[in-house]
């Protein structure tokens, strides 16, 4: 695997840890935007033969993951007038420890998988670790916006798995993944708006109080 791709993957993991270790929602959004930029550059760093499909995938990923979705999230926290995750279900220090465990699990599983030719062990390990840390963020954070960030982390991990066979995955499937994320964040934006309007809070715990 190219040195540039390895550096990008390390930066992806650092973004994961930044999200797990901060209470500031703006920092979480900046980290997920930075991670989206790194993921957009990865197809270019991984491929040895440039093509229109690879360029389109990279450009589409950068525009959607590092520009459009973070902008929507920033607008959501601005409308809700919330800045911090103050009620995590587990502390930020413990979250970082669990993040280290996720990375260890990622490398442990990657070493035992029959990887496709050309798929780096580091790529698979980072993909699995990002998926696990995305689940961790979704399940341990109370604010709906932070949970959306966790959902994006989860999808970014799946996207990394897809890059292991980027030459064999149809372009429409890759675009479909991006559209799924866009729709998911759009729906969560509606949920955040209604929680904030009805309860003056964006804690996802208030979902249990919604009824007709």
Q: Three-state SS across 44-112?
A: HHHCCCCCHHHHHHHHHHHHHHHHHHHHHHHHHHHHHCCCECCCCCCCHHHHHHHHHHHHHHHHHHHCC
Q: Which residue has the tokens 């999808």?
A: 155
What is the per-residue pLDDT for 152?
87
Q: What percent of the chain has pLDDT over 90?
A: 25
Spatial separation of the C-alpha atoms in residues 44 and 21, rounded to whole Å:
30
Nearest to 205 by CA among 138, 144, 134: 144
Q: What is the pLDDT of residues 109-134, one digit of tens each?
A: 888 877 655 557 888 899 999 999 99
Least confident among 96-105, 153-162, 165-174: 165-174
Q: What kind and span of H or E run contains 199?
A: helix 171-199
Phi, psi (deg, nearest 5) at residue 97: -60, -45
Name the residue with tokens 């930066």: 11
SS3 (DSSP) at 11: helix
Check residue 175 and give its pLDDT: 61
pTM for this entry? 0.80
Determine phi and psi for 28, rounding to 5 degrees: -60, -45
Token pair recorded at residue 85: 């995750």
């Amino acid at each position: 695997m190219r040195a540039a791709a390895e550096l990008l993957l390390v930066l992806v993991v650092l973004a994961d840890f930044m999200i797990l270790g901060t209470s500031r929602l703006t920092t979480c959004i900046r980290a997920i935007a930075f991670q989206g930029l790194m993921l957009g550059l990865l197809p270019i760093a991984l491929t040895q033969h440039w093509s229109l499909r690879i360029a389109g995938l990279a450009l589409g990923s950068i525009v959607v993951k590092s520009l459009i979705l973070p902008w929507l999230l920033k607008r959501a926290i601005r409308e809700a007038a919330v800045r911090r995750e103050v009620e995590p279900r587990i502390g930020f220090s413990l979250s970082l420890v669990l993040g280290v465990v996720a990375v260890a699990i990622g490398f442990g599983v990657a070493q035992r998988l029959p990887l496709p030719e050309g798929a780096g062990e580091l790529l698979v390990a980072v993909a699995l670790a990002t998926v696990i840390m995305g689940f961790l963020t979704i399940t341990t954070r109370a604010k709906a916006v932070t949970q959306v960030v966790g959902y994006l982390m989860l999808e970014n991990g799946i996207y990394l798995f897809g890059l292991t066979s980027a030459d064999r995955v149809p372009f429409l499937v890759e675009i479909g993944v991006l559209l799924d994320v866009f729709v998911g964040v759009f729906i969560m934006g509606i949920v955040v708006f209604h929680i904030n309007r009805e309860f003056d809070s964006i804690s996802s715990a208030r979902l249990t109080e919604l009824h007709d």
